[in-house]
C-alpha cells in the first residue's frame, strides 16, 4: 500500500486547494477516530485521502457513469452531490489501482452512509462531517459526541444534514434515512452494529 505522502500527491491534481485542505482534515480526523474506535488505521487513512476524488468531475459525466457502471439508477433522482461518492469509488479503482473492497466501500458510502456500516466506513463518514474546517450549524455537538459514541455522532450528523436538506425543500436519498434507522434501532444485549 502507498504511503500518505504518495497518496496525497495522487489526489491533489483532482481537487481545488480548499478541497485538498478538507481532505487533509478528513484524513487526520478519520485516523484519530480509527485509533480510538479500533478500525484498520491504514485502510481508513487511504479511504479518507481519496474520499472526494471524483468531487469535480462534470455532472453529466458522472450521471453517464452511473448508467455505464451499473450503479443504482435511483441515484439520478436525487442531488448530483451524491454521485461523487459511488462514482469516486469506481474511478479510484480504475485510475489509482486501489482494489481493497473495504477502502472502496468507505469511499462509495461516504456521503449517504448505508445500514451496517463497517468501522472504516463510519470513521470516514463522520470525519467528513467533523474535520476542523467544517463550520456547519451543530457541528460542535457532533464533535463532542464523536469523543464518546461513534454511532450517536453519526446519528446527529444525519439529523443535521436531513434538516438542512428539508429546509431547502430538497429530496433525501433513502440510504441516508436507512443509515439513521439502522443506528437508532434498539439492539439486543451483546448485539453489535456493523459488518465486522
Ligand atoms: O463531499 P463533501 O462536501 O465533503 O461532503 P459529502 O460527501 O458528505 O456531501 C455532502 C453534500 O451532499 C451536502 O451538501 C448534502 C448533500 N446531499 C444532497 N442530498 C443528500 C446529501 N447528503 C446526504 N447525506 N443525503 C442526501 O440525500
Ligand atoms: Fe464527499
Ligand atoms: Fe468530503
Contact residues for 92 (Cβ-Cβ < 8 A; gap 6+): 50, 53, 98, 104, 107
- Asked if residue 191 is part of any domain, the answer here is no
The CATH number linked to 17 is 1.10.3210.10
CB-ligand 1 contact for 109 (6 Å cutoff): no
Q: Contact 110/128 with Cβ under 8 angstroms? A: yes
- Asked if residue 138 is part of any domain, the answer here is yes
The pLDDT tens digits along the chain (196 residues) read 789 999 999 999 999 999 999 999 999 999 999 999 999 999 999 999 999 999 999 999 999 999 999 999 999 999 999 999 999 999 999 999 999 999 999 999 999 999 999 999 999 999 999 999 999 999 999 999 999 999 999 999 999 999 999 999 999 999 999 999 999 987 877 787 888 6
- Asked if residue 157 is part of any domain, the answer here is yes
- Asked if residue 190 is part of any domain, the answer here is no
Gap between the Cα atoms of 128 and 88, Å rounded: 15
CB-ligand 1 contact for 165 (6 Å cutoff): yes
- Asked if residue 22 is part of any domain, the answer here is yes
pTM above 0.95, yes or no: yes
For ligand 1, atom 1, name the residue with the nearest CA. 52
Number of separate domains in the chain: 1
- Residue 135 belongs to domain spanning: 4-184
- Asked if residue 189 is part of any domain, the answer here is no
For ligand 1, atom 11, name the residue with the nearest CA. 81
CB-ligand 1 contact for 55 (6 Å cutoff): yes
Amino acid at each position: 500500500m502507498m504511503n500518505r505522502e504518495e497518496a496525497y500527491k495522487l489526489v491533489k491534481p483532482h481537487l481545488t486547494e480548499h478541497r485538498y485542505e478538507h481532505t487533509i482534515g478528513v484524513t487526520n480526523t478519520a485516523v484519530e477516530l480509527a485509533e480510538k474506535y479500533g478500525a484498520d488505521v491504514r485502510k481508513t487513512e487511504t479511504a479518507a485521502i481519496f474520499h472526494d476524488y471524483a468531487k469535480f468531475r462534470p455532472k453529466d459525466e458522472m450521471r453517464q457513469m452511473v448508467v455505464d457502471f451499473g450503479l443504482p439508477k435511483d441515484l439520478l433522482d436525487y442531488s448530483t452531490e451524491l454521485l461523487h461518492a459511488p462514482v469516486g469509488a469506481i474511478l479510484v479503482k480504475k485510475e489509482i489501482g486501489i482494489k481493497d473492497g473495504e477502502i472502496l466501500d468507505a469511499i462509495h458510502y461516504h456521503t449517504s452512509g448505508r445500514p451496517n456500516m463497517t468501522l472504516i466506513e463510519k470513521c470516514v463518514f463522520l470525519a467528513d462531517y467533523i474535520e476542523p474546517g467544517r463550520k456547519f450549524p451543530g457541528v460542535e455537538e457532533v464533535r463532542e459526541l464523536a469523543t464518546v459514541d461513534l454511532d450517536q455522532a453519526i446519528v446527529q450528523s444525519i439529523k443535521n444534514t436531513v434538516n438542512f436538506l428539508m429546509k431547502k425543500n430538497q429530496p433525501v436519498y433513502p440510504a441516508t434515512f436507512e443509515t439513521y434507522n439502522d443506528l437508532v434501532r434498539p439492539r439486543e444485549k451483546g448485539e453489535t452494529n456493523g459488518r465486522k
